[in-house]
Every structure is written in structure tokens, then in C-alpha cells.
Structure 1
Amino acid sequence: MKMICPFCLHHCRLEEGQTGLCRARKNVGGRSVAVNYGRLTALALDPVEKKPLRRFMPGSMILSAGSFGCNLRCPFCQNHEISMAGRESAAAAMTPEELAARARALAGNGNIGVAFTYNEPLVGWEYVRDTARLVRRLGMKTVVVTNGSVTDLVLDEILPVADAMNIDLKGFRESYYRKLGGDLETVKHFISRAAGACHVELTTLIVPGENDSDEEMEELAAWVASLNPEIPLHVTRFFPRWRMADARPTPVDTVYRLAERAAEALRYVYVGNC
């Protein structure tokens, strides 16, 4: 039975048994099923600032969990081994109950909850939702680190259980988003909704020759300020990775210059990777 996956901007048309572009969702009996449900490729206790979140419970630790799959194709992805992988990845099984229990057991180490990160967590949103509900019952927090490239069907499920998000706003040109396999308007809509429902911080990775103009940063910051000038923005430095391994790192002065431009419109602007 053919079906159209309704959960992200690609709306993959899938034959029975076929997996979508994200490599994490499959047509099973005419339904889009997350084949990465409860399959973790990474688990680590990190400072919350590493997500990055600077204005959400600073000084805390958070149990960070990753699976496999992503619905974008950023050529500079630092986690491409898992984000671009499918079921062949070396993933360990962990139920929502087990992950929530692990988070609670680490409370004595300063852990405040669970962060879904490393790959794109919302291609397997059901696991995020189910775990987050349990984490909330324990009085702990849920963080989602995402590219924001999913539909309202996913947001409707995730926003009621998310306490904080870091959302990639990769640039402010539709042409650049198309290079990455995404859509700027989808991400802007996601950010607009999330900012009204939970704590939100944004990250923009500055890639030389792609999104490093003053004009683009000024437009990006002005749009974010139109939502709320107190939304923190992390302006971060690119380093060569994956299919851009031969590129040059972003000059440090470029990152600081663009952060200064953003700070003309936003109260909280942070520089990363410098």
C-alpha cells in the first residue's frame, strides 16, 4: 500500500516496505513507522551549555541521547556517521522507561533530564514524546536539539512535553536551505511556534561563502527579534567536516563581526567554536 509520510517537509511517497529520505521512517501497512524507535547510537552526560543552551538551567548536566537518521543533507554534518545512517548503524535498544530511569539514576550527578540530540531527533518523534512524558512525571526536563524541519503534526505532539529547544537556523536564504535539502519557511514556522511554547535558543553555523554576509545576519537577527529580542542566538564557527573536509574554517573575526551585527537586534548573542 503506497503512502505519503506526513511528518516532514519532504512528504516522501513510499511503497510498502520502503524507507524515506530520513532513513528513519518506513511504510509499514500504509503507516509511517519510526524504525529508529528505541534505538540509540549515542548516550552521554553533557553540560547543558554544550547543546548549546546558555540561558536554560546553566551549570546543569543533561543526559544526551542520539539515534540515527536526519531529513536534511548538510555537507558539513559533524555527526554524519549516525545522522546519515539507517538501520545498519550500531544502535543499542533502550525503551523510554529505561532511558527515563537512567536519567533519574544520574540526578545525583547533576542531571536535570534528557536531551535528544546528535542526529535529528524528530524524525523519530514518537520516542521523544513517549520518553519526555515519563521524564516529566519524574520532575525532570526534556531538551530537543533539532533542525526544525518537521510539520505541525510533530509539533503538536512534542511542544506539550518539551521544556527547551535549540533549533538550527542555518541561514536566512531559501537558496542556501535548498542546498542543504531543507526549506527556510518550514523552519521559521517551527521556530515561531516553539518560541511561544517553551524555552528556545537558536544556532547559526557560519560557513564561508555561504551565509557569512552582514546583510544576511542583520535580516536573520531582525526576524528573530520580531518574535522576541530575548531569544538567544549562538553564532558558531565552521570547521571542515564530512563532504566539506577540504574547506577552510570560518575566520574567527568573521564570527565575531556577525555576532556584533546580530547583537544590534538581539539581547543575547553568543559566539561558539572560536
Structure 2
Amino acid sequence: MHEAMFWDKLEDNRVRCGLCRFRCLIADGHRGLCGVRENRQGVLFSLVYGRSIADHVDPIEKKPLFHYLPGSTSYSIATVGCNFRCRHCQNADISQWPHRDREIPGRPLSPQQIVRQAQQSGCRSISYTYTEPTIFYEYALDTATLARAAGLGNVFVTNGYITTEALERIAPVLDAANVDLKGFSESVYRDVTGASLQGVLDTLRDYRRLGIWLEITTLIIPGLNDSDGELGLIARFIRDELGAQVPWHVSAFYPTYQMTDRPPTPRATLQKARRIGLDAGLKCVYTGNIPGDDGENTYCPGCGERLLERSGFRLGRVSLHNGRCDHCQSMLAGVWN
């Protein structure tokens, strides 16, 4: 048991959670939408602090982050729980666990142990990933603070629904984030995730304002968010609100969980999405979940030369030093050192 942050006590032992944009009103003895923050006699507690359900050493490209310490590894951790209800979640067995079983599984793993294991594994960062890091915020914050003191970076892989006040609190020790932007329709967002598109857009603006390195991922789902119009709206939002230098990853969907009625995303659809992004003026648009596609590589926005070669999560030839193109010396936005 660990007392939560960002909540207010109300009448009748109710509390208002202020960690994510749902701002749950939680009665005594009940939990928020995430399933892992519980009101006990008017005090809100995190049920997952120090309880790791997954910890692995991953290539940073798996997050995916292509402009943050490419070729490095990231010690990746998660607890059970999520504040979204994505019908196509690839990790639903752990993200939705608290909604099927009130037991909170996981093995004890302290922030100190995470940092030590990251160092021993040769990782350059710690990623809070697999489920939604916002819901294990206190655990992530304490780990990230120790990691920063030890010279490690910190990465969120997130649905982008954290409140402004919570993001501002962790921002000084958060180096990079990959945020899912699942579409650009309020109705589809609510149907597929249970959340609001506007809340995610506001969070993305917060990340940019706070100076955290940002990359965006959109899972392209056939018949749901793959129209030229919707993809164009996403590309223009990134360009106009976040900056043309922010990388956009367009990834292939595969039927899973509660969304098995749609086919996998054709390669041609991803290539079309990439062209739409580049035509809109984005500097770097990447195809994902289809290893071997040319859209995995990074090209210089100045001269067009290939700067970073990739196949899946493997980094190949690099023609970039200290963020500058070896051919024309143009600077590529990112975190390279």
C-alpha cells in the first residue's frame, strides 16, 4: 500500500483523483477507472507501487523511439492496470487484469532494484511501458528520480491522458515519450478507448511545451482511422501544434483482443499514410510492424541521404554524428548523446 498523489478529499469519504484526465470521483471502498487506485476510508492509495508485472531489456526502437539514443537498450517495466479500455490492446492480459480480478499480481521490485538492474544490463534508459505508466505514477516517479541521479534517461510509452499538473511534476526527470494518437475523431476515440480525443491533444501540447522529446504513434486500423482525410488531420495537427520535426510512426494493426473483425493493415495503407505525412511537411514519418519496409529508415531532411538504417528493432548503418548528417551537416532533431 502506498498513498497516492494528486487527489482531493470530499464529503462522505469520497475522493477526486487528479492523476489522469478522467478525474475519477471514487467512493469509499471503490477504485478508479484504472483499477489500481483505491479509496480506503477517504484516503486514495496506489495498489501497484513496487509490484512489477513485467521487466525486460528492450531496444529503444521497440518503444518505438527512433530519435532518442538510437541503438541503445532500455530497461522496461510495467504494473497491471490501465485507464483506457482499448478494444485492440495487445497487452490486455495485464492492462485489463484489475477489471477481471481484484487481486493485484506482480513481483516485488523496488525503484532501487530497477535502477541497479538497468545499470547492470548496460541500459541507457528506463522505459515505463507495456501498460499505461500514468496509473503507476508514484512508482515511476520515484524510479525516474533515482535513474536521473544515476545518469540514466527516462521514457514514457503512453496513451497521453495524464493531467497537466501530474506531467509538470514528473517532467524534470522525464526525457522522452512516445504517445499514441489513435485517430482524429472524437466518436471513434470514445468507442475504441473510452477516452476523449481532445484530452489527448491537450496532453500532447503539454509534452511539447515542457520540452520532453516527443514521438507519435498511430496504429492504422482498416475502416476505422485509415481514410486520407483523417490521416491528413493527424499529420497537420503534428505539424502545426507540435512541430514538423516530431517523428510520426504509422504502424500496422493485427486482429487481437476484442477487435478480431477487421483485417491486418495492408502495407500499401501504411505507405500511403507515410506519404500523406511527408506531403504535409513532416520531416520524419516511419512505417511500423512491417519489418524490411523502406519507411523504417531515417533520411536527412536536408539532402535526402539515408542516415539510419533499420530492420525491425535492429539498427544498421549510421551516417549521423552528434545529430548532424555526415553528407550535408544538416541537424536532425532528437536526443543523440
TM-score band (shorter)?
over 0.9
Counterpart residue number, 2:125: 113
* Aligned-residue offset at 1:204: 0.2
Cα offsets for 1:169-206 (capped at 9, x unmatched): 11111111111111111111111111232111010001
* Aligned-residue offset at 1:9: 2.2
Counterpart residue number, 2:254: 239
Instruction: Answer whether contact 1:212 1:254 (CA < 8 A) is retained.
Output: yes
Instruction: Answer whether contact 2:76 2:127 (CA < 8 A) is retained.
Output: yes
Instruction: Answer whether contact 1:82 1:89 (CA < 8 A) is retained.
Output: no
Largest Rg, 1 or 2:
2
Counterparts of 2:121 and 2:218, CA distance in 1: 31
Q: Identity over the aligned pairs, expressed in percent?
A: 39
Aligned runs of 1:23-172 on 2, under 5 Å?
A: 23-86=35-98, 88-107=103-122, 111-172=123-184
Counterpart residue number, 1:223: 237
TM value normalised by structure 1: 0.96
Question: Which structure 1 residue ranges, 4+ long, deviate > 6 Å from structure 2?
Answer: none
Structure possessing the higher relative contact order (Cα contacts under 8 Å, 6 or more residues apart): 1
Which deviates the most, 255-264 or 133-142? 255-264
Which deviates the most, 170-179 or 151-160? 151-160
Counterparts of 1:6 and 1:193, CA distance in 2: 16
Counterparts of 2:113 and 2:182, CA distance in 1: 33
Q: Give the residue type in structure 2 aligned to 1:138.
A: A
Counterparts of 1:14 and 1:191, CA distance in 2: 27
- Number of aligned residue pairs: give it: 271
- SS of corresponding position for 2:171: helix
Counterparts of 2:275 and 2:103, CA distance in 1: 44
Instruction: Answer whether contact 1:41 1:89 (CA < 8 A) is retained.
Output: no
Q: Give the residue type in structure 2 aligned to 1:258.
A: A
Q: Structure 1's 163 and 75: CA in aligned 2 closer, same or farther, altered over 3 A? A: same
Instruction: Answer whether contact 2:164 2:206 (CA < 8 A) is retained.
Output: no
Matched, 1:270 2:286: yes
- SS of corresponding position for 1:37: coil
Counterpart residue number, 2:263: 248
Counterparts of 2:41 and 2:152, CA distance in 1: 36
Q: Give the residue type in structure 2 aligned to 1:193.
A: D
For structure 1, the 5+ residue unaligned runs are none
Counterparts of 1:36 and 1:7, CA distance in 2: 15
For structure 2, the 5+ residue unaligned runs are 1-12, 291-337
Counterparts of 2:270 and 2:107, CA distance in 1: 38
Matched, 1:207 2:216: no
* Aligned-residue offset at 1:4: 1.8
* Aligned-residue offset at 1:2: 1.0
Of 169, 184, 196, the match for 2:197 = 184
Of 207, 210, 224, the match for 1:194 = 207
